[in-house]
Amino acid sequence: MTAVAATVASTTGTTVAATARRSRLGPAAWVALGFLSIVVLAAVFAPWVAPHDPNAGDLLNAYAPPSGEHWLGTDGTGRDVASRLVYGARTSLLGPAAVVLLALLLGVPLALLSAWRGGTTAFVITRVLDVLFAIPALLLAILAVATFGVGLRSAAIALAVAYLPYVGRLALTAAETERRLPYVQALEVQGHGAVRINVRHVLRNLAPVLVGQGSVAFAYALIDLAALSFLGLAVQAPQADWGVLVSDRDAILKGHPLGVVAAGTLVVLTVLSLFVLGSRIAGEDRR
Amino acid sequence: MTHYLLRRLLGLLITLLVASLVVYLSVFLSPGSPEQVLFGSRPPSPEVQEQVRQYLGLDDNVVVRYLHWLGNVLTGDLGTSLITQQPVAQRIAGPALVTFSLVLYAGLLIVVFGVGSGLLAALRPGSTDAAVTAVTSVATALPAFVAAGLLISVFSVQLGWFPSYGLGQGTGGRLQSLTLPAVALAIIASGLVARVTRASARQELASEHVQTARMRGIGGARLVRSHVLRNAAPPVVTVLGLQVAGLVAGAVVVEQAFGLGGLGELLISSVQQKDFPVVQAIALVVVAAFALLNLAADLVVMLLDPRARAAAA
């Protein structure tokens, strides 16, 4: 959860450049940021926000319509839908956060190394990314789940590997442009070490691109992880997760789609907000 | 051009080789073994188990098994399913047909609605543009598994127009049962294609050569067809290729939601049963289809755009 908070926090401005940009975020991006903040806060403070225990069933009260007691009604085993949505935000945000952080942790050093060394190193790294790019993310995730067992952890690790080429290629292009700038050569001539130049200077200038790309990748990771939970391969059924909640086929067929619709709406709004915010940050940066 | 094509096909072969190795290792490393799945909860005597293991070739060295499999594939033999003893090609043919008709159907929808709404937004600035752009933005954030639930709820449960589960009989029935899945699958990609089409067409509309054409008195359909569309097409085709290729793997979600019996569902069940030859074959088919669709899109771009031809040569 701290990772999610960090992602959102860094988009609002931990760097000087981001603070300067804040006023130019635009109304749509502000709305998106507001919505995401609410979702993150609800996830962090789920025990206080949720009106009921998300797993407490009451079979006599199955498929209850919305009421003061149950804002969004109950599901097939009488569990409170609103509470399950609030708790579901936890896994639904934590998973993608892990995917994006891991992909960045793997991809950014590779990109910096490739841009710095060039030659054979760059060739090998580019080829590895190319091959990974050719294997669809869902295919890789299904195989990883088979190898390391069903669950959020294997699915998240597999998706991080699958997202590596997307994150890596973008970081690589940006790092290569940066590498050719005079200030990098000036620092080199002054005798600063490669690691120091990359971490203190290059990485810092790449940050806005990475944050913008990171939030878009976060949105896609949210979709893919929820899809894997929907397939029963990531988060498992009794636990609340947006993907699990959307997969409640029984409720749809019995004509009680409210919980499914609500979970689906949360997925769509969260993804849309991340897109709006991410493209805004990345778009601002290009100028 | 020939040189380019050969280079791309060689790249595809290397990718397939690496992918097959990755798949092989992942199945090899996964816990459990095929004969345990076959025996179920009542394992026979150790002697029989050993016979079965030998029959299936499970005791050979990993490298030997992989090379043996690879040699067979290169001669066109995908092997036999460890679980059903069917030839793998026969086992995956039906599901592959389902998945490819689903992808084809969704692909057509993406072309019609994605390109269509993108052009509409570009050609009618103002309120039409704003409305279309709002709808396509939401579409880019509407995943197939969410759309599937909504579509089943409205069109199957409430209206009863389409089946919610299973593949229909005959061409008409098949088409009817594939409609909701194809729509669910096409939504995100249609939104993305619409956005790229709009941006690309607007750029062409504002370009000098289109203004010149307008001044020469060329207008309406002819201007759009031969001056805007032709030049706006290459980026749209690239995105279309990427998106439709992505559907080959992404289809698994709607296959499962609608119980169509496609390739993705077979992959998941085969993975659970450790049916290695089937998993391997499906992975290869998916990776190859993904790469070939992307290659096809690149070739179409080269046909449309002489600059792309020059860059490849």
How many angstroms separate the CA atoms of B43 and B48, rounded?
A: 9
Query: Taking a contact as any Cβ pair under 8 Å apart, which residues of chain B between 131 and 170 contact chain A?
Result: 137-138, 140-146, 149-150, 152-153, 157-158, 164
Over residues A50-67, mean pLDDT:
79
* Of residues A146, A233, A257, nearest to B153 (C-beta): A257
CATH topology of domain A80-286: MetI-like fold (1.10.3720)
pLDDT for A8: 40
- Cα angle value B200/B204/B209 (rounded, 5°): 160
pLDDT for A5: 40
Q: Across A80-84, A207-211, B83-87, B90-94, which has the greatest mean pLDDT?
A: B90-94
Residue of B153, B155, B164 to mutate, interface with A, max A Cβ within 10 Å: B153
Judged against a pLDDT cut of 80, whether residue B235 lies above it is answered with: yes
Place of tokens 């993904």: B290
Cβ atoms of A284 and A21 within 8 Å: the answer is: yes
Packing angle, helices B127-139 and A258-286, rounded to 10: 110
Judged against a pLDDT cut of 90, whether residue A37 lies above it is answered with: yes
Over residues B210-215, mean pLDDT:
84
Over residues A92-106, mean pLDDT:
93
Q: What percent of chain B has pLDDT over 90?
A: 26
Which stretches of chain B are assigned E, i.e. beta strand? none
Asked casually if ipTM beats, i.e. exceeds, 0.95, the reply is no
pLDDT, tens only, A200-256: 888 888 888 888 888 889 999 999 998 888 888 888 877 888 888 888 888 888 888
**Mean per-residue pLDDT over chain A, rounded:** 82
Q: Which two tokens stand for residue A183?
A: 């200030």
Q: Cβ contact (<8 Å) for A230 and B253?
A: yes
Q: Give the nearest chain A residue to B292 (CA atoms).
A: A134
Give the residue ranges of DSSP H helices in chain A: 2-13, 16-21, 27-44, 46-49, 81-117, 119-133, 137-148, 152-179, 182-189, 194-196, 203-230, 242-246, 249-253, 258-286
- Place B35 in a pLDDT band, splitting at 50, 70 and 90: low
pLDDT for A53: 82
Q: Give the nearest chain A residue to B19 (CA atoms).
A: A135
pLDDT, tens only, B43-86: 677 777 777 777 766 666 778 888 888 888 888 888 888 788 88
- How far separated are the first and last CA of chain A, in Å rounded? 32
Query: Positive or negative, the Cα torsion across B222, B227, B233, B236?
Result: negative
Over residues A68-79, mean pLDDT:
78
Return the minimum-mean-pLDDT range out of A40-49, B64-73, B134-143.
Answer: B64-73
- Place A69 in a pLDDT band, splitting at 50, 70 and 90: confident
Mark A205-243 as b/e (b = at least 16 C-beta within 10 Å).
Answer: bbbbbbbbbbbbbbbbbbbbbbbbbbbbbbbeeebbbbb
pLDDT for A1: 37
pLDDT for B189: 94
Q: Select the more confidently predicted residue: B168 or B185.
A: B185
Return the minimum-mean-pLDDT range out of A131-135, B177-181, B246-250, B281-285.
Answer: A131-135
Q: What is the DSSP string of A29-62?
A: HHHHHHHHHHHHHHHHTHHHH-SS-TT---GGGT
How many angstroms separate the CA atoms of A51 and A38, rounded?
A: 16
Return the minimum-mean-pLDDT range out of A106-115, A250-259, B134-143.
Answer: A250-259
Place of tokens 């040699």: B71
- Place B34 in a pLDDT band, splitting at 50, 70 and 90: low
pLDDT for A3: 40
Q: Cβ contact (<8 Å) for A145 and B158?
A: no
- Place A272 in a pLDDT band, splitting at 50, 70 and 90: very high
Q: Select the more confidently predicted residue: B140 or A283.
A: B140
- Place A6 in a pLDDT band, splitting at 50, 70 and 90: very low
Residues from chain B contacting residue A283 (CB–CB below 8 Å): none
Over residues B272-276, mean pLDDT:
79
Return the minimum-mean-pLDDT range out of A11-15, A36-40, A265-269, B60-64.
Answer: A11-15
- Amino acid at site B85: Q
What phi-psi label fits residue A56: left (phi over 0), alpha (psi between -120 and 50 degrees) or beta?
beta
Judged against a pLDDT cut of 60, whether residue A123 lies above it is answered with: yes
pLDDT for A269: 94
Q: How far is B42 from chain A (nearest CA, A)?
A: 23
* Of residues A130, A139, A260, nearest to B283 (C-beta): A139
Q: Cβ contact (<8 Å) for A267 and B157?
A: no
Q: Select the more confidently predicted residue: B30 or B303.
A: B303
pLDDT for B163: 83
Q: Across A15-24, A181-190, A242-251, B183-192, which has the greatest mean pLDDT?
A: B183-192
Q: Select the more confidently predicted residue: A55 or A8.
A: A55
Judged against a pLDDT cut of 90, whether residue B184 lies above it is answered with: yes
Q: What percent of chain B has pLDDT over 70?
A: 93
* Of residues A135, A145, A275, nearest to B140 (C-beta): A275
Domain ranges of chain A: 80-286
Q: How many Cβ pairs within 8 Å bridge chains A and B?
A: 124
pTM of the shown model: 0.85
Q: Which of B181, B287, B276 is nearest to A138 (CA)?
A: B287
